[in-house]
Amino acid sequence: MFENFKEQLKGKKVLVTGGAGFIGSNLCEALLELGVKVTCLDNFATGHKHNIEPFLKNPNFTLIEGDIRDLATCHTACNSQNFVLHEAALGSVPRSINDPITTNEVNVGGFLNMLVAARDAGVKRFIYAASSSTYGDSEALPKVEEVIGKPLSPYAITKYVNELYAENFFKTYGLNTIGLRYFNVFGRRQDPNGAYAAVIPLFVNKLMNHESPVLNGDGTFSRDFTYIDNVIQMNLLCLTTDNQDALNQVYNTAVGDRTNLLQLTELIKKYLSVYSPAIKEVEVMNGPKRSGDIPHSLASVEKARKILGYKASHSIDAGIKEAVKWYWESFK
């Protein structure tokens, strides 16, 4: 579905940090299919070797096992690269609350190492995973890029600092950057088994095993759930745009629609019950609200549409249908 990017990217060299993770491995796959020479940097702290196993025999794929907290490793990885897609980070608001120091070391220290290495290597463009958590306590809906609040977690602070550093590196050193504020990304290869599993793979896993998923709060909190192919499209648009005004910006990466947890659960049950009708009858449980959570999140994607030509390929419904099929085929 991304064939229209092939001519512009074929033969280019792209470093994907966190390339064995959920988003990173999907980016690696899409780039390889477009004829890109891909280097993956990952320390496998949260990524998995099985995510990149299919790529290891591809002559256009290189794996560097290393940590972005090590500057020398970052320099090695950035050497001779045209572009960097920086996905490596310690995600999860709860993880950052439990361990703010490591979150900061990876998400701020590691990010700064990557900026320095990219600058020194003469990388043409540095595109990085920003986060909707940057909107913090701002209650305005939809979220527009220019209006943010105060961050509500250590994770959110680190992602905001990334944006500040990226802007500074352009102004100080001329390194072109683009930040993509991801909104609740889901899809194939998202780990359902980790201690900090995101809500969709966690709920899918529970329901496949006929266990009751636990909603945080009363289930009315809503999010702009964004299928992985929308995220891939945004990254490819950022890699290929020749509009200089598109650079050194941040963009919401989302659908522009919101779904609450009750609606989400019903949608997952709807598509899982195709494979196991008994899932329809599994009841949902309610738990406490999660610390650092905001009640509602909804993105405006107008800026990405106008400047980059972005148009979401997958609604929440279409994305859940595809994701559920992948999980059923992979884990059953």
Q: Tell which residue, 124, 54, 92, has the closest CA to residue 197.
A: 92
Beta strands in 29-82 (DSSP E): 37-42, 61-65
CA–CA separation, 331 and 3 (whole Å): 30
Give CA–CA dist 127/41, Å, rounded.
15
Q: Is the dihedral of CA 255, 203, 219, 194 positive or negative?
A: negative
Question: Could you confirm whether 155 is annotated as catalytic?
Answer: yes
- Residues of 173-210 as b/e, b for ≥16 C-beta within 10 angstroms? eebbbbbbbbbbbbbbbbbbeeeebbbbbbbbbbbbee
State the greatest distance between any 2 C-alpha atoms of the chain, in Å, as a whole number.
59
Cβ atoms of 228 and 186 within 8 Å: the answer is: yes
Kindly state the DSSP code that residue 69 receives in the 8-state scheme. T
Q: Which of 155, 227, 251, 327 is catalytic?
A: 155
Segment (H or E) for 150: none
- Quick one: tokens of 165? 């550093």
DSSP 244: G
Rounded Cα–Cα distance for residues 82 and 59 (Å): 18
Known catalytic residues? 155
